[in-house]
Amino acid sequence: MSEKNYLTTDFTLRSWFLTTDHKRIAILYFASLIFFFFIGGAAATAIRIELATPQADLVSSDVYNRLFTMHGIIMVWFFLIPSIPNTLGNFIVPLMIGARDLAFPRLNLISWYIFMLGGCITLFAILAGGVDTGWTFYTPFSTLYSNSYVIVAAAGVFIAGFSSILTGLNFIVTIHRLRAPGLTWYRLPLFLWSLYATSVILVLATPVLAITLLLMATERFFGVGIFDPRIGGDPLLFQHLFWFYSHPAVYIMILPGMGVINELVSCFSRKEVFGYKFVAWCSLAIAAVGFLVWGHHMFVSGQSLVASLVFSFMSFIVAVPSAIKVFNWTATLHKGSIHFDAPMLYALAFIGLFTIGGLTGLFLACLAFDVHATDTYFVVAHFHYIMVGGMVTAYFGGLHYWWPKITGRLYSEYWARTAAMLIFFGFNLTFFPQFILGAEGMPRRYHVYPPEFQLWNVLSSGGAAILAVAYLMPLFYLGYSAFFGKRAPPNPWNAPGLEWQTSSPPPEFNFETQPVVTREPYQYNERFEAEPQNA
């Protein structure tokens, strides 16, 4: 094990808060995201407690509106979007391509400060009184009627957007320019293809959100008619602009997860990813077609039937590359030598949960079904199966997979597997009943409901309690392992990626000597065990 690593080069606060080391910045993001995840989680807990009974017992309707808005805003912009890219991506991308750092290390640090500034402003809006528009900020409510802290919260989101754009830019340039000798595009691990596709969306879509929020602020402050029909605006314009960003943004919230799953499925079945090139190009196809389906959020908005038909059709098309990935992961598992280590449990959970989320997306893409299901709990269940069952699961899987690399320590496999299984169970108990509630017609965003919906709501709240405990568990056993865990070898999983060829944790500049790549990725069949490990 090397004497000095990136964690032990310097212990001062200054060395952390002014670092340009991508690995340390990843840790800064990691700590911040844990914080935001638990704030968003606290709101979710309050929501589920309220919904355990049909009447209003915990909060008023007004507070309830603020709770689900805060939950959505924090989880989407301050947890999910930065989750895998800014923590795991930041840490692993340079290691995976054999580089010393990202292309723009200082920009990377600035991105974190911008993100934190946006986060603090949004937190301030929440503490000062909250926002009641829902995470979607729909006009005319947000511009005309709401007297909550709409603009302050939107300003926080607006600012955090620049962090997204800069991170995307950094990844794109890094992947283009800093690959190790021999690391051709088709030798890139699929995690990098998916982050590349994500970065393209980050750079192209986020400015649209920024413009939308600016227009909203302009109308609210200056009464310029942009969205308000009484002064010459068009309320649907807001929805078009918002979803033109937010549908691509949902792919920002799943593509990195898919990328992690490639690494895990391949490693723990000891096989090459089936159909590498298909999977690689599917990421880019999803990124491209994802820009053409936003209207499926507006089927009941009064947009023309022709528009709805086209958006419906395109939504079916965008599901094809996602489905190809699911087939290819399954084919990778086929006849593999499957190891049920904790990261693999998360990967298997991801495949199942993402499939349910994606398939119900297809239900909703059907006009005839969606007019009934829109704004019901069916939609809530759909996107949680993808965003939580998919992305959060992949995040946990990736975190466990790369934890020995990040910290140089091994965690308790027993606790890790227990948590993974508990998360899977708690998740399904929380969200599956919501499909049933939605199909039975329970609308979303209300704090009271008719008594006939109570049974499924109680199950859902019970599941949420289990899920809350399960999500807290890693905090303890991972936290413990970071200080007291067994030392990790450089390559605990016997994986062929470049990130495993340097010590754990890596030295400040990642590699003692510039690595050279001479083979395709995922060559698990070769006997790495026989190769000397440069410890």
Query: Site residues (CB under 6 A) for ligand HEM?
Result: 136, 250-251, 253-254, 296-297, 315, 318-319, 322, 358, 361-362, 364-365, 370, 373-374, 379, 382-383, 386-387
Site residues (CB under 5 A) for Cu ion, limited to 236-275: 247
Q: Which is nearer to ligand HEM, 339 or 445 (CB)?
A: 445
Residue 170 vs 374, nearer CB to Cu ion: 374
Q: 95 or 379: whose CB is closer to ligand HEM?
A: 379
- Which secondary structure element, helix H or strand E, spans residue 385, and what is its range? helix 377-386
Smallest separation (angstroms) from ligand HEM to the CB of 496:
29
315 binds, among Cu ion, ligand HEM, none (CB under 5 to 8 A by kind): ligand HEM
**Rounded Cα–Cα distance for residues 369 and 183 (Å):** 47
How many other CB atoms are found less than 10 A from the CB of residue 225?
Answer: 12
Which single residue is written with the structure tokens 């199966």? 385
- Chain mean position to CA 194: 12
> Which lies closer to ligand HEM via its Cβ, residue 95 or residue 254?
254
Pattern 190-229, Cu ion, x by CB under 5 A: ----------------------------------------
Q: How far is the CB of 136 from ligand HEM (least distance, A)?
A: 6
Provide the minimum distance between the beta carbon of 284 and ligand HEM in the complex, in angstroms, as a whole number: 15
DSSP state of 498: G
Q: Which residue is nearest to Cu ion (CB)?
A: 247
Residues 6+ apart with CB under 8 A from 28: 16, 17, 19, 112
Does the protein bind Cu ion through residue 384 (CB under 5 A)? no
- How far apart are CB 330 and ligand HEM at their closest, in Å? 16
Residue 404: CB minimum distance to ligand HEM, A: 28
Residue whose CB is less far from ligand HEM, 357 or 485: 357
Q: CB within 8 A of 34, min separation 6: which ones? A: 475
We find the least distance from the C-beta atom of residue 285 to Cu ion, in angstroms, to be: 16
Q: How far is the CB of 78 from ligand HEM (least distance, A)?
A: 15
Half-sphere exposure of 409 (CA within 13 A, CB side): 14
Helix (H) / strand (E) element for 487: namely strand 486-487
Instruction: Select from Cu ion, ligand HEM, none the partner in contact with residue 253, using the beta carbon and a kind-dependent cut-off of 5 to 8 Å.
Output: ligand HEM
Cα dihedral sign, 301-303-305-309: negative
**Joined tokens for residue 59:** 């909060």
Could you say which DSSP state residue 390 is in?
Answer: I
Strand partners, 376: 443
Rounded-to-integer distance, Cα 426 and Cα 431, Å = 9
Examine residue 140 and say whether the peptide bond preceding it is cis (omega within 30 degrees of 0): yes
Q: Between 97 and 250, whose beta carbon lies closer to ligand HEM? A: 250
Interaction residues for Cu ion, span 88-147 (CB under 5 A):
none
Beta carbon of residue 362, minimum distance to Cu ion (angstroms, whole number)? 12
CB neighbour burial string for 55-82, b if at least 16 within 10 angstroms, e if fewer: eeebbeeeebbbbbbbbbbbbbbbbbbb
319 binds, among Cu ion, ligand HEM, none (CB under 5 to 8 A by kind): ligand HEM
Site residues (CB under 5 A) for Cu ion? 247
